[in-house]
Amino acid sequence: MITRGYNVIKKSMDHVTKKIGQNIKNIRLSKGITQLVLATKLDADKSYVSKLENGKFNPTINTLEKIANVLSVSIKDLIWGTNPSILRWKQ
């Protein structure tokens, strides 16, 4: 029973991690920034940015704050995305 509950939470978190990664990638691309440039500004490897964007790593709040600063967006934008029609019902 506990294992099942853990698997449900893990699956949900995996979905959130992938969505955040997609949002980071979409925002980065919309600003014309490459993974290499983002990685350099974060003092990280390009592979780290790639893994974040592909949902392989779960970013910490500190990492999200750094990414948000580099991309000139809010942490909320990284988590929820920047599509106004999607955000309307979540505010």
> Do the Cβ atoms of 28 and 71 come closer than 8 Å?
yes
Which residues in the chain belong to E strands, given as ranges? none
pLDDT at 89: 45
pLDDT at 90: 47
Give the integer Cα–Cα distance in Å for 90 and 39. Answer: 30
pLDDT at 88: 47
pLDDT at 69: 98
Per residue of the chain (91 residues), what is the pLDDT tens digit? 556 655 655 566 688 899 999 999 999 999 999 999 999 999 999 999 999 999 999 999 999 999 999 999 999 999 999 875 554 444 4
